[in-house]
Amino acid sequence: MEKSFLICNRDDSCVQDFLLSISKSCDEIYLAIAYFSNRNIVDIWLQKKIKLSCLFALQPPTDPALLRHLLPLPPSQVELKFYDSRFHSKSYIFLKRGKPIGALVGSSNLTNGGLSGNIESNVFITEPDKTAELLEQFKQIWETAASLSPEDVRNYELTYSQIMIDIGKANTKHSKFERRFVIPRLPRHKPRIRKEGMDYYGFWKCVDDVRSIVGKEAQREWPRVPVYLAIDHFWHWIVKVWDRANIRRIKSDRQYRRKVLPLMFREFIEWDKSESEWTGKLYSHSKWFRSLLSPIVIQRLTRRDARDIYSSLYSGGMRTQRFHAHDSFAKDNSIERIRYSLAYLLHSSDDVARRISALLVDEKYKLEQFGASNIQELLGWVFPNVLPIRNNKANKAVEMLGYRFR
């Protein structure tokens, strides 16, 4: 192929396409990127038996789910090292039989935005002396970086969700500035973040408060089930079973709520044991969603898969039973549109509030028969360690406990 010099995201090409094209000629890639979150291109490289040496900053938006996905792989396939927030490089060095054949250097992180969505500037270098110098710099930083361990990922996951919430709040403030002063000066801009998207951050904060109270108990009872999933079934118990005699006090007295929530959760555990023990099965349900909606498999999604996904959502199951809404979902949207929109929702590096908003109102992503509950519930099933499930049942339960988020 013609080796271009300037590589940026334009209407006729994108950085990801260029990386995939160049990688056809190599057997190893050294990645030095501050933000590491695009699983799609990583999985493609691994399928092509390309060894990856990944050096990144252990800070958002680097995705802990991607790190956990790669960590079990042997060093012959992937090596992972990290640096602190000072690390801000963006370079991709392509090697064949141990020798560099080219390098891309510029502004693109390994994120959806960096590889396709953002305005980026990168240069492709083939001169042997320059690629050799880049390789030497990479090796020097690599020697002083830390090798990623399971404990590192666990520690990172503990703070990742809260940091993302804080980032979301900061982005909200900045969005107000952009809407007032920046966007009016630009001919084109992204759709604004809708109230439903911003409410998700408020809901998330409420769920994390509950998690801080009952999370350890949930992990002891169901060690394989992500805490957010256990809490989601707790919502079901609150809405359907809980004795509401003391609801006024819980709503009005925050300290009392923190005192009584552990007692309620233990009561929920006993109820779950006496019923179908559904909570213990939630991990398998989530795993099923993730198997169909991984970055690669989602591109092969069939209409039948789309129907099954819709009807397997709590927010889609009742409408499926009463109105056959899963058939309407698969019929009213082309399968290409479903793949495209769900890939954006689940695997874009955009803020989660912006992704939710886009699927609600942006004609580029909006899906017929797929509303706010469907969107926010699916996020929680696919990323149960990072995002809570939000639907009408969850909203009701959280508000029954006296939380306010909208």
Using one digit for the tens of pLDDT, what is the confidence trace for 80-125? 999 998 999 999 999 999 999 999 999 999 988 888 778 889 999 9
Domain range annotation of the chain: 6-148, 195-406
Q: What number is the average pLDDT over the span 236-248?
A: 81
What is the DSSP annotation of 332-385? HS-HHHHHHHHHHHHH--S-HHHHHHHHHH-TTT--TT--HHHHHHHHHHHSTT
Of 2-6, 138-142, 288-292, 333-337, the poorest mean pLDDT is in: 2-6
- Cis peptide upstream of residue 61 (ω within 30 degrees of 0): yes
Which pTM value belongs to this model?
A: 0.56
Q: What is the pLDDT of residues 40-76, one digit of tens each?
A: 899 999 999 999 999 999 998 899 989 999 999 999 9
CATH superfamily of 6-148: Endonuclease Chain A (3.30.870.10)
DSSP at 53: E
Residue percentage of the chain with pLDDT more than 90? 65
Residue 110 · residue 30 · CB < 8 Å: no
Residue 103 · residue 123 · CB < 8 Å: no
> At 63, is the secondary structure helix, strand, or coil?
coil
What's the full length of the chain, in residues?
A: 406
Say which residues have a Cβ less than 8 Å from residue 82's Cβ, sequence separation at least 6: 55, 56, 57, 58, 145, 146, 148, 152
Residue 384's CB: how many other CB atoms inside 10 A? 25
Q: What is the pLDDT of residues 253-264, one digit of tens each?
A: 888 989 999 999
| C-alpha 105: how far from chain center | 26
Angle between helices 254-274 and 195-221 (to 10 degrees): 60
Residue 141's CB: how many other CB atoms inside 10 A? 14
Six token digits for residue 363: 């004609």
Residue percentage of the chain with pLDDT more than 70? 95
pLDDT of amino acid 2: 42
pLDDT tops 80 at residue 142 = yes
